[in-house]
Structure 1
């Protein structure tokens, strides 16, 4: 299979970049694309990767490093057909105690870092007149979260980014969507106390946290031909937590 094949559901051998694929949701997304038969690369800062994922070390806060990583991916694997911008950080703090650095550093990774990757990946997509851009947001971007002014702001802004990309590049066969996970079973949520978990679960109609595979399945669909007429959408994967938002 070659990278010249059209975007389609199932094994196609597309070149897919998933940022931050060493753990959690990003890891599950990368594993899903590998299972689908795609050729997967990650831009990340380090860590053990799933089998079949090619590593390109770069910091998404550095434009030159991002450009160099994409150039290397294109040289090694071919034109990038799917970008999943997943890399993100949290630095939770109450509003009155949040420093400029705590706010700006989260914005620079989660929002500006996403912009850097989208800008670079879109070059090849525009030339080929096809592509899939999937931004990993969060239910916090719509519901808000105490102590998460920085994180919520960064994730809410991804919706405006995806919709602007859709208006700008939609006629060229490129889609851009935001996936908004709710609470997901990860190492971070596993460390929550039983009391905190019960509080969260009480507000989720599905009465459980998502698995990382459930998030990955939605990303896989949005990146497929079957979702070719979905663009500029905010797609919640939250068990009903954010209904109406």
Structure 2
């Protein structure tokens, strides 16, 4: 990306940049979308299921009500190649600009928290379809599209579960390990493109999805953290904001733990 102006550096470091945040109707993705918008980015708020449409619209409305906020909403399943292409097409058409930033936040977990021995193939396929295949497809599209804008940022979300290897998270942890491998190889493949590719691995975060877990799991997560609390979404979105900016130019191919010391 081009060197930031003084105005960009001090107030809106992402001004004029177009960002896609997948899975941004709620939770960590929502927080990231709102934060990038506050830094000046033009946002594509993405969701998958019809039940999330109202939440996605609310995120875009909040961005558009700020000054000089700008956001559109695009429904797309990141596990489907044609829909990923349409997602990028919509961004380019709406903002008359190439995409500069991809944050792949869309993901699913194993709601039953079953062991590997008890995980159904349907559950395994669903987790890998969204988490691993979805990340791969978004990276593939971004690698081609972001080049058109002269450089940019690809940021994927993994999980501290890859490192902690907690029981009953085998399929989920494996899918996120694939995400981490993807970003490391992608960073090397994109040499000389001025595109960086990095991954953050959040620890347990106080989102609706995690707070729906059994109380004993939440209690253990808090006890495991040296800070004695769950992460808040702002703990995550600030790191993404930094990685999306020009200030992170020399960080590439990294998996950054954002977990309060759990790992």
Q: TM-score with structure 2 length normalisation?
A: 0.85
- Give the corresponding residue for 1:72: 90
Secondary structure of 2:250's counterpart equals coil
Q: Which runs of 5+ in 1 are unaligned?
A: none
Does the 8 Å contact 2:14/2:245 carry over to 1? no
Asked if 1:97 corresponds to 2:118, the answer is yes
- Give the corresponding residue for 1:206: 227
Deviations 1:188-228 (A, max 9, x none): 33334554433222211111111101100000001111100
Alignment of 1:99-178 (within 5 A): 99-178=120-199
Work out which of the residue numbers 20, 24, 36 in structure 2 matches 1:21.
Answer: 24
Asked if 1:234 corresponds to 2:239, the answer is no
**Higher mean C-alpha deviation, range 195-204 or range 10-19:** 195-204
Secondary structure of 2:231's counterpart equals coil
- Give the corresponding residue for 1:40: 43
- Give the corresponding residue for 2:66: none
Secondary structure of 1:210's counterpart equals coil
Q: 1:159 to 1:94 in 2, by over 3 A?
A: same
Q: Which runs of 5+ in 2 are unaligned?
A: 64-70
Work out which of the residue numbers 59, 62, 66 in structure 1 matches 2:80.
Answer: 62
Q: 1:6 to 1:20 in 2, by over 3 A?
A: farther
Deviations 1:112-150 (A, max 9, x none): 111111111221222333110000110012222211111
Q: 1:79 to 1:140 in 2, by over 3 A?
A: same
Report the alpha carbon displacement of residue 160 of structure 1 after superposing the two structures with TM.
1.1
Secondary structure of 2:156's counterpart equals strand
- Cα distance in 2, alignment partners of residues 127 and 97 from structure 1: 46
- Give the corresponding residue for 1:219: 240
- Cα distance in 2, alignment partners of residues 158 and 193 from structure 1: 26
Secondary structure of 2:190's counterpart equals helix
**Higher mean C-alpha deviation, range 65-74 or range 81-90:** 65-74
**Higher mean C-alpha deviation, range 56-65 or range 122-131:** 122-131
- Cα distance in 2, alignment partners of residues 231 and 105 from structure 1: 29
- Cα distance in 1, alignment partners of residues 136 and 213 from structure 2: 32
Secondary structure of 1:188's counterpart equals helix
Secondary structure of 1:154's counterpart equals helix
Count of matched residue positions in the alignment of Structure 1 and Structure 2: 239
- Cα distance in 2, alignment partners of residues 222 and 32 from structure 1: 12
